[in-house]
Amino acid sequence: MIDFFLTHRRKPHFIDRSSIMRDLKDAIAHGAAAVLLGPDGMGKSAIAEEYGRIHVTDYDFRFWVRAWDGTVLASDYAGLAEPIGIPHQEDSDLRDLAGSVRTWLEENGRWLLVFDDAPSAEALEKYLPRAEGGGGDVIITSKSPGWEDTFTTIEVEPLETAEVAAFLQSRTGQDDRGSSEKLAELLEGNPLALELAGAYIRWTGISLSRYLDAYKKRLREISGRTPPGCSESLAAIVEISTEQIGAVSQEGIDLLSLSAFLASEDLPVDLLVKTSALLPDSVEMGLLALDRRGLVRRDEEALSVHPLIQALAFDRIDDERRKIWADETVRSIGGAFSSYLEDLSTWPECARLLPHALASSERVEDLGMGSEPASLLLNQVGLYLHRRGDIAGARGVLERLIVLDERFYGPGHPEVATDLNNLGSVLRVLGDLSGAKSCFERALAIEEAQEVPDRLKIAIRANNLGTVLRSLGDLEGALAAFERALAIDRDAYGPNHLKTAIRLNNLGEVLQEMGEMEGAKESYQRAFRIFEQFLGPGHHYTQRAQENLDSLSKNGPK
């Protein structure tokens, strides 16, 4: 069996949810995707995991795809090509790979695919195998409503008080029915809070009654001070565990703080220890302290933290320290994220770091910050996604980068012009020519407004603007832009440079469309001579210039 449940493994103390398991099995038996629906902390992902474990002999493949972000979803889904044996290269287009994966799933059976934390049915539209295809099964976990019209939904609700009390007694080995029932009632059936409380009591050896007293006291102290989406019962449990860790391991507190600025799964602590100034050289004692108290999930390959625990860890950090952690985290991720994307061997590591780059930079934005490390990181992520063919993902990253750089550098800074130019190129590929035109025009205006304008950058911006204007049918505007770019590059590089030849070829194409055949012919001939001299007759630039010349004789006026 190929097991690709990413960082997931069976929880050693999974709380029995037999009725939900039966409902899930029945839904899957009818051949439709089943949605486990409920708020964070109710154990939806754990149920999906446990289902895969119980029915492991029914499947040859088990896949786990993170669906909380479209870019991460695309990367994880395309990554399934590797375990199922779809031939590909490191630089294969993510869209092509995703299409191949979906086709494979539709043509094969005996697989289980989990889309974890999906925001909507629309987000999965490109990735869900058609039901009439192969014999695989799909489970979706989500906290968002709106699935009922299309999918079988199973509500994951809080546990019954009797279930919680029984689990506490079993987990802790303490036969104190009264205290376990009182604590169970206060925990409000929250599976995550229950798991953490059981781990703490088991590890520390504290009695159920003493823990109950400590919990009540902490619950009063935090009343009204929990972050959105976190129950006070869970917050009190996490506070007790975190305070005790702080007494034995500062490394544990630092790791928990770090996690608040990263994605929740597959935390790359092994990479960040090498690059982060806020982590010690060895974090083993900290990891051990967190693992023993249930605050992290750890196996031989990966480390994960529940999003609600991350939110509570973030809430414990004061404003000044939040900015320090945010800045250092994006700096560390940036140090680990390859700056040499030409080296394809670094791309698997980039794929692993991608969710954390997105999460850490989002923290910087949410804190109202801007920073050079965040800017550099988002720029690299945008380039990586563009080269992998996730153009929509690149667009989202570049739009975020512009907001961040405007905040940090100012709206008229050349860095913003570079961001706009890159976004314009992406929008052009996506077919948003109007948006691309606006980006190139603004980038050009910023470069022109500098105290000492960079003429070579102006040429690049003008050429890109000309390309879009030509596609929009504004041939006069395109001609003016191309002529400007040509004049600058010819002056800077000389009349026989490759840059000059590229501009000449562009100019020839728009002249041809305008019916200026003699001008087009002269531009093509000059471009062809330069390309042939420096690149040879077989280069695609040379061939394109030749094809343009040939088109004049075929399509010119008779």
470: which residues sit within 8 A by CB, 6+ positions away?
478, 509, 510, 513
- At 45 the pLDDT is 93
Mean pLDDT, residues 525-548? 94
The DSSP-derived string for 363-422 is HHHHTT---HHHHHHHHHHHHHHHHHT-HHHHHHHHHHHHHHHHHHT-TTSHHHHHHHHH
The CA distance from 481 to 497, in Å, is 19
Flag the least confident range among 196-200, 244-248, 275-279, 313-317: 275-279
The CA distance from 352 to 271, in Å, is 11
Domain boundary among 283, 298, 315: 315
- At 11 the pLDDT is 52
Q: Are 503 and 464 in contact (CB under 8 A)?
A: no
The CA distance from 175 to 185, in Å, is 17
178 with 76, same domain: the answer is: no
146 with 96, same domain: the answer is: yes
151 with 172, same domain: the answer is: no
Amino acid identity, position 122? E
144 with 6, same domain: the answer is: yes
- At 235 the pLDDT is 95
- Residue 191: pLDDT over 50: yes
Domain containing 60 equals: 2-155
- Residue 10: pLDDT over 50: no
Is 382 exposed, middle or buried (CB count within 10 Å of its CB: 0-12, 13-18, 19+)? buried
Identify whether 186 is part of a domain: yes
- Residue 13: pLDDT over 80: no
- Residue 410: pLDDT over 80: yes
Mean pLDDT, residues 237-242? 95
- At 134 the pLDDT is 60
Max CA distance (Å), the chain = 100
Identify whether 286 is part of a domain: yes
Q: Is 304 helix (H, G, I), strand (E, B) or coil?
A: strand
Residue 225's pLDDT band, with cuts at 50, 70 and 90, is confident
- Residue 391: pLDDT over 70: yes
How many Cα atoms occupy the beta-carbon half-sphere of 479 within 13 Å?
15
218 with 113, same domain: the answer is: no
The CA distance from 336 to 355, in Å, is 13
Q: Look up residue 536 and give its DSSP letter.
A: -
Closest residue by Cα to residue 262 from 184, 354, 178, 173: 354
Tell me how crowded residue 55 is: count the other CB atoms within 10 A of its CB.
16
16 with 135, same domain: the answer is: yes
The CA distance from 359 to 296, in Å, is 18
- At 133 the pLDDT is 54
77 with 198, same domain: the answer is: no
Sign of the CA dihedral with 534 first, then 537, 538, and 539 last: positive
Identify whether 370 is part of a domain: no
- At 243 the pLDDT is 94
238 with 289, same domain: the answer is: yes
Closest residue by Cα to residue 325 from 263, 420, 257, 426: 257
Identify whether 188 is part of a domain: yes
The CA distance from 401 to 79, in Å, is 26
> Does the predicted model carry a pTM greater than 0.95?
no
**Helix spans in 472-515 (H):** 475-493, 498-513
**Which two structure tokens, joined as six digits, stand for 88?**
């590909």
Identify whether 438 is part of a domain: no
Q: Helix crossing, 455-471 with 433-448: angle to 10°?
A: 160
Identify whether 119 is part of a domain: yes
- Residue 3: pLDDT over 60: no
111 with 176, same domain: the answer is: no
Answer left, alpha or beta for residue 351, where phi above 0 means left and psi between -120 and 50 means alpha.
alpha
Q: Is 34 helix (H, G, I), strand (E, B) or coil?
A: strand
Domain containing 75 — which CATH number? 3.40.50.300
Helix or strand (DSSP H, E) at 2: strand 2-4
Mean pLDDT, residues 365-384? 93
195, 261, 422 from 41: Cα distances, Å: 10, 19, 40
Domain boundary among 282, 297, 315: 315
70, 240, 261, 330, 369 from 365: Cα distances, Å: 19, 30, 12, 11, 6
95 with 113, same domain: the answer is: yes
- At 557 the pLDDT is 47
Q: Is 42 helix (H, G, I), strand (E, B) or coil?
A: coil
52-55: Cβ within 8 A, 24+ apart: 52/5, 52/112, 52/114, 53/10, 54/21, 55/25, 55/112
Residue 22's pLDDT band, with cuts at 50, 70 and 90, is very high
Closest residue by Cα to residue 254 from 282, 235, 293: 282
Flag the least confident range among 20-24, 335-339, 418-422, 517-521: 335-339
The CA distance from 303 to 318, in Å, is 25
- At 558 the pLDDT is 34
How many structural domains compose the chain? 2
Identify whether 208 is part of a domain: yes
Is 103 exposed, middle or buried (CB count within 10 Å of its CB: 0-12, 13-18, 19+)? middle
Q: Is 231 helix (H, G, I), strand (E, B) or coil?
A: coil
354: which residues sit within 8 A by CB, 6+ positions away?
71, 72, 75, 381, 384
Q: Are 557 and 551 in contact (CB under 8 A)?
A: no
pLDDT digits (tens, 9 = 90+) for 60-93: 999 999 999 999 999 999 999 999 999 887 778 8
- Residue 383: pLDDT over 70: yes
Identify whether 183 is part of a domain: yes
What is the pLDDT of the chain when averaged over all its residues?
A: 91
pLDDT digits (tens, 9 = 90+) for 306-348: 999 999 999 999 999 999 999 999 999 998 898 788 888 888 8
Closest residue by Cα to residue 379 from 434, 431, 337: 337
176 with 115, same domain: the answer is: no
Domain boundary among 282, 315, 348: 315
Mean pLDDT, residues 256-264? 95
- Residue 426: pLDDT over 80: yes
Q: Is 297 helix (H, G, I), strand (E, B) or coil?
A: strand
Residue 393's pLDDT band, with cuts at 50, 70 and 90, is very high
182 with 109, same domain: the answer is: no
The CA distance from 102 to 347, in Å, is 22
